[in-house]
Structure 1
Amino acid sequence: MASSYVRSPRIIAFFIGFFLLVSVCAANAAPATNNTFQPGEELAKLKRIRAHLRRLNKPSAKTIQSPDGDLIDCVPSHLQPAFDHPELKGQKPLEPPERPKGPEPADPATVESLQLWAVSGESCPEGTVPIRRTTEADMLRASSLRGFGRKPAAMVRRDSTSGGHEHAVGYVTGEQYFGAKASLNVWAPRVTTPSEFSLSQIWVISGSFGGDLNTIEAGWQVSPELYGDNRPRFFTYWTTDAYQATGCYNLLCSGFVQTNNRVAIGAAISPLSALSGRQFDISLLVWKDPKHGNWWLEFGPGLLVGYWPSFLFSRLAQHASMVQFGGEVVNTKAAGGHTGTQMGSGHFAGEGFGRAAYFRNLQVVDWDNSLVPLGNLRVLADHPNCYDIKGGINKGWGHYFYYGGPGRNMRCS
C-alpha cells in the first residue's frame, strides 16, 4: 500500500556525530499592501503576472475542483511546463526505468487516494498529468515576482548558526549514493506567519558547500505564502547552484517531467496523522536511473510521479555525496523572539509514537541499483530546545528517528 497505519516500535535511541549541510537564507519581508491602483508600476506588474500565468497554466483536457478550493488541470503530458525547456522541446515523457532492487511495491491500481483533490473519485484521463492551477493570488503573495516558486538565494554552510532556517535531521555522508527511500508520517504543523514554512523531506545532495550545490528534494510542506493555506502538501524542489538562479518548487518552472495521472504535485495530502490516534505515513523513493541517468521519484509504492532529467545537474549528473532526512522550519522572529512555527507534529521527539513525527525504514540506493540499509546514520538538531531528534534501529522499522517540536517555549525564546 502507498500509505500505512503503523504500530509503535520499541525505541533504541542514540545520538551520533556532528556534520550537516544546511541551506541558510534570509527571510524576505512580506510586501506592503497598497490599496491605491497606480496605472504605471501596478499595471506593468499585473501584465507580467498574467503573462507568467499564461506560460504556467497550460491548456487542459479536464479541470477538477478540489474540496480545498484548488483547481486541478488535466494537461496533456507533452504540453506540461517541463517541455518549455530548450533541451526538452518536442519530446515526450520517458518510459519508466528499472526500479531499485528490493521489496516489490504494491500494485499501483490498489493504492488508495493520497490527496484531497482525488477523494471524490475524479481522475485525470490517461495521457494527461494533473497540475495544480497557479492563480494571480498565488503570485501576489510572493515576496517578488522574480522569486515566485523559488527559495531565496542562499549562503550554504556546514553549520546552521544563522539565517533563519532550522533543522532536525538524520543524514549519511562519505559514500556515493544513487538514491534514498523512507516512510514519514504526515501532520499539519502550525505556521505562525505567511513568510514562514514547515516541511519534512528527503534531500539528495551533491557538490561543495558553495555555489555548485546540487539538491533534489521531496516531501510534504505547509507554506501559507506559496499555497495560500495551512494544509500539508506534497512538494518537490531542485537546484543546481545553491538556490541562486536555478530550480523551483513543483512544476513552477521547466525541469521536472511528470509521468503520472494520479498525483498532483503541490496538492494537499489526505488523510493526516492524529495526535494519540492513527498514524498516516507516505513512502518516498528517489533514485538515479542507471541507463539514462535521470533522477526518478516514487510517491507511495508503485506510483511513479516523474523524473528530473540528468542534464539539469552538474554534480548530481554522477551521484549524490550526502542524503538527509528530516524537518525544516523558517524562523523569521516576526514577534521579536523565536517563532512558534511547529516542526513535524509540534511535539518533541521524546514523546514517541502517536505524538512525535517520525521517519522509518531509511534506506539508500547503492552503485548496483539496490536498496540497502544506511551505513552510519547521524542525527542533528540545530536548536534542540526548539526542535529535537532521537534515532534508533529495530527489526520492524530498520533505521528510524522521531523529530520535531513546538518552536517557541520556555526553553526556546
Structure 2
Amino acid sequence: MVIMLGATVTLIRCGVLVEGKLFSKQKILEAERQLNQLRRPAVKTIQSEDGDIIDCIDIYKQPAFDHPALRNHTIQMAPTYDTTKETKTMKKMDRWKKRNEEQSPITVKQTWHKSGSCPQGTIPKAILFTEGYRYNGAKGDIKVYNPSVELDDEYSTSQVCLINGAYYDFESVESGWAVNPSVYGDRQTRFFVYWTVDGSQKTGCFDLTCPGFVQTSHEIALGAAIHPISVPHGLPYQIIVYIYKDPVTSNWWVQYGERINIGYWPPELFVLLSYHATSVEWGGEVYSSRVGTTPHTRTDMGSGHFAESSVWGTSGVIKRIRVHENSPGLKFPDIVNTLMDEFNCYDVKYLSDYVEDPEFYYGGPGRNYMCP
C-alpha cells in the first residue's frame, strides 16, 4: 500500500468539458454526493438497452431508511385499501368503458424490463448519468524512457489513467511505466498497474502489492523491467496500453501491446468506477515531498527533457490517443485540454495542427535555473 503525500504533475486531460461548459466543483461534488446516496450494494444489476443501469437493492437497505425518523420503521408491503375492488358505480361504467376502449390510452412499460427483472425482496433503483461523461476505456502508445529519480522515496511515471470522482477524492485505474525505488528497490523502468479509491490520500496500490488486481496472463509480469529503453536522439521504443471496461462483467481490463490481456480490477473495488470513468488522463507524473518547494526535486519527468515535438524526439511522448465512449470502438476524444503544474520545472506540448494524428509531448528535469 502506497500513500502519496506530495504533489503530482499530470499533463493532459480529456473529458473535462461538455458542450463548451465547465462544471463548477460545487456542482460536481453535489452530483457525486447524490450518486453516492443512490448507490447501494446490489443483489442484481441490469444493463438496460437504453443505457440505464438498474440496481436491484435489498428493500430494507433503500435510502429511505437513512432518515433518523425511519430507523425503526416497519415496511407496509401493501396498502390497506384494495383499489381493484369493484363498486356499483364502476359496474355502471362498464358499458361506457367498452364503447370507448379503442380510444383509451395504452399503458406503457419501462424499457429496462426487456433486459431482466428484480427478484422479490428487492427494489429497482435507476442510476442515471449525463451523456458525454461515460468513458469505458482509454489507450495510448507511450514512449519508454529511464528518467533520473533523485531520492529513494520519489518516483516518475508515464501512464494512461481513467478517473471518476472529485478533484481531491477520486477513484482511478492506471497503467504505464514507472521508475519507483521505494516499490521496486532499484531505478529500472518497469511496467506497472495502479489503483486508488480516494485520490491516493490513504489508498493506492501498485501491481500485486495489495489485494485487488486479478492477474490472468502468464506472459506479462507486473513490475518487471522493460527492455529496450529509448534514449534522446536514439531509436524510439514504446509500450501500448489499453484500459477498458468489460460490458458484461464491468471488470476494468488492462491490455498490453494490443494482444495480451493481463488482468483486471473487479467493479466491487469501486463505487464510482463500478459504472464508468468521467475523465481520462495521459501523461507524466512525478511524486516527491519536494514538489512545489525550494529546493525542488531533481527527479525527471519523461526523458528529463522539456517537451519537444521536433523530429529528434528528445522528450516524453504519447501517440495514438484514443478513448472508448458509449458506442463500441475506439475514437479520438472530441475535447482535449492540457493541464500542467509547475511549468518552469516541467512542460507540455499538444501537437494537433498539420499532423494526421495529434501527439502529446511532455517532460522536464525538475530543478533547473528556472525552477530552483
TM-score (norm 1): 0.59
Tell me, in whole angstroms, the C-alpha distance in 2 between the residues paired with 1:273 and 1:368: 35
Aligned to 1:405: 364
For the structure 1 residues 172 and 398, does the alpha-carbon distance in structure 2 shift closer, same or farther, using more than 3 Å as the test? Answer: farther
1:164 corresponds to which letter in structure 2? A
The 5 A counterparts of 1:202-281 are 202-211=160-169, 213-281=170-238
Tell me, in whole angstroms, the C-alpha distance in 2 between the residues paired with 1:151 and 1:237: 12
Tell me, in whole angstroms, the C-alpha distance in 1 between the residues paired with 2:265 and 2:300: 30
For the structure 1 residues 336 and 366, does the alpha-carbon distance in structure 2 shift closer, same or farther, using more than 3 Å as the test? Answer: closer
For the structure 1 residues 397 and 403, does the alpha-carbon distance in structure 2 shift closer, same or farther, using more than 3 Å as the test? Answer: farther
Aligned to 1:185: 143
Tell me, in whole angstroms, the C-alpha distance in 1 between the residues paired with 2:233 and 2:365: 16
C-alpha contact (below 8 Å) 1:168/1:404 kept by paired residues: no
1:372 correspondence with 2:215: no
C-alpha contact (below 8 Å) 1:374/1:399 kept by paired residues: no
Secondary structure of the equivalent of 2:308?
helix
Aligned to 1:167: 10
Aligned to 1:337: 295
C-alpha contact (below 8 Å) 2:309/2:349 kept by paired residues: no
Tell me, in whole angstroms, the C-alpha distance in 2 between the residues paired with 1:323 and 1:182: 11
Tell me, in whole angstroms, the C-alpha distance in 1 between the residues paired with 2:225 and 2:198: 29
Secondary structure of the equivalent of 2:11?
strand
Tell me, in whole angstroms, the C-alpha distance in 2 between the residues paired with 1:164 and 1:214: 17
C-alpha contact (below 8 Å) 1:361/1:397 kept by paired residues: no
1:360 corresponds to which letter in structure 2? K
Q: CA deviation at 1:311?
A: 1.1
- CA RMSD in angstroms, aligned pairs only: 2.0
Identity rate of aligned residues, in percent?
A: 39
Match of 2:262 among 285, 301, 305: 305
Secondary structure of the equivalent of 2:352?
strand
C-alpha contact (below 8 Å) 2:163/2:173 kept by paired residues: yes
Secondary structure of the equivalent of 2:371?
coil
For the structure 1 residues 244 and 328, does the alpha-carbon distance in structure 2 shift closer, same or farther, using more than 3 Å as the test? Answer: closer
Gaps of 5+ in 1: 1-148, 155-162
Identify the range of structure 1 (264-273 vs 343-352) with the bigger mean alpha-carbon deviation.
Answer: 343-352
For the structure 1 residues 151 and 313, does the alpha-carbon distance in structure 2 shift closer, same or farther, using more than 3 Å as the test? Answer: same
Tell me, in whole angstroms, the C-alpha distance in 2 between the residues paired with 1:242 and 1:166: 13
Q: CA deviation at 1:244?
A: 4.3
Tell me, in whole angstroms, the C-alpha distance in 1 between the residues paired with 2:354 and 2:3: 38
The 5 A counterparts of 1:322-361 are 322-333=279-290, 337-350=295-308, 352=310, 353-361=312-320
Identify the range of structure 1 (193-202 vs 242-251) with the bigger mean alpha-carbon deviation.
Answer: 242-251
Match of 2:273 among 293, 313, 316: 316
Gaps of 5+ in 2: 18-132
Aligned length: 255
2:349 corresponds to which letter in structure 1? K
Aligned to 1:78: none
Secondary structure of the equivalent of 1:167?
coil
Tell me, in whole angstroms, the C-alpha distance in 2 between the residues paired with 1:331 and 1:254: 25
C-alpha contact (below 8 Å) 1:164/1:330 kept by paired residues: yes
For the structure 1 residues 277 and 338, does the alpha-carbon distance in structure 2 shift closer, same or farther, using more than 3 Å as the test? Answer: same
1:194 correspondence with 2:152: yes
Specify the structure having the higher radius of gyration (Cα). Answer: 2
The 5 A counterparts of 1:93-104 are none
